[in-house]
Amino acid sequence: MGLRKIIDNLKPTFSKGGKLGFLESTFDAFETFLFVPNTTTTRGAHIRDCNDMKRTMIVVVLALMPAFLFGCYNTGALVGLEGFRAFFYGLVRVLPMVCVSYIVGLGIEFYFAQVRKHEVNEGFLVTGLLIPMIFPVSTPLWMVAVSTAFAVIFGKEVFGGTGMNVFNPALVARAFAFFAFTPFMSGETVWYSNWTMMGAQVDAASGATALEHLATTGNMGYSAMDAFLGFMPGSFGETSTLAILIGGAILLFTGIASWRTMVSVFVGGLAMGYLFQGLGVTSYPAWQHLIVGGFAFGAVFMATDPVTSAQTNTGKYIVGFLTGALAVLTRVVNPAYPEGMMLSILFMNALAPLVDYYVVEANISRRKKRVKLAK
């Protein structure tokens, strides 16, 4: 294969002792992105599989595509455009955010890889797309850049890189932006700036999100079908529950995401919603929490992160249930912060290792008791 020959010819130059040997980790990142590594294990367990971390991350990116593509159309539809014009408007609006996220994030990743002299981590292939998808499309690019840099450095690299981070990096970026630039990230309206496209003037549009309506009036302000399909204001990739569930089906079919965590988040949100509904605290149906805001997106793509979520099967049920329950609790108890999903996931990221610890300890205790009974 021509490309493989080119890579093989260049490899000695970028290997240790070569003229550009100091860029070995950078060259390795591009090589392993294009081709599956030909290395094998020499001891311990042997796993023969063509799917390495990069291939896994690419599948996650593909699973994000339904929500991403719908976000492009919905962004244009919210300002009154139709068909391809609406999709093109949204695509042009979000692409700069995606580029800034990848350029800043990967730039920092490559820098740390060079300094530490290790391979470039693959995790940012997903994080770089997640960040713009959980931001309002109107977010200034410099805010996206600063938030991305903060997430990669303080949410990931300080812990040792991919696989060592305690918190989901994309949510760290969202949390940083939310508390540092609150007026641009949350409020009574979601707005889109004026822009001229194909000779037509696109007027600015604004409107309260479904979560704002729930918090202030007890009604979504949109039909259940519009909310489920995603025809309403909100963060770029979080509005369409249907598109998100299609992505979730891809993750479950490929075995990348845990169904235990995913299902438990929805069950926890419903349980807490029905509790408040039964107590008379809320007048709207509990299931509405699942189709508005970032609940579905968080349940499918954030809470299931294999690094920051629980590792034990029992722990996944517990962490997932508490994530959904805390999200709804925050929405209902604190109307000033109607979302809730971001902080609930970050909170459970911190507690996941503790949950796993007690699950393992409980298993050890049960085994000891069985040993005593056998004697």
pLDDT given at position 198:
46
**What is the average pLDDT across 235-252?**
93
Determine contact, residues 293/212, Cβ cutoff 8 Å: no
Alpha-carbon span 217 to 112, nearest angstrom? 48
pTM as predicted? 0.82
Q: What is the 3-state secondary structure (H, E, C) of 123-142?
A: CHHHHHHHHHHCCCCCCCHH
Q: Which two tokens stand for residue 183?
A: 């007026």
Q: Which helix (H) or strand (E) holds 176?
A: helix 169-180
Q: Report how far residue 273's alpha carbon sits from residue 321's, in angstroms, rounded to the nearest whole number.
A: 12
| Structure confidence by residue, pLDDT tens digits, 113-155 | 777 776 666 678 889 999 999 998 888 899 999 999 999 999 8
Q: What is the DSSP letter of 17?
A: T
Predicted confidence band of residue 299 (pLDDT cuts 50, 70, 90): very high
Taking alpha carbons only, the member of 110, 106, 150, 143 closest to residue 128 is 106
Long-range contacts formed by 199-203: CB under 8 A, 24+ apart: 200/85, 202/79, 202/80, 202/81, 202/89, 203/79, 203/80
Mean pLDDT value across the chain: 81
Task: Flag whether pLDDT at 250 surpasses 50.
Answer: yes
Instruction: Return the DSSP state at 298.
Output: I
What residue ranges define each of the domains in the chain, with the CATH number in brackets? Answer: 2-34 (no CATH), 53-362 (1.10.3430)
Q: Is 337 helix (H, G, I), strand (E, B) or coil?
A: coil
Using left for φ > 0, alpha for ψ between -120 and 50, and beta otherwise, residue 35 falls in beta
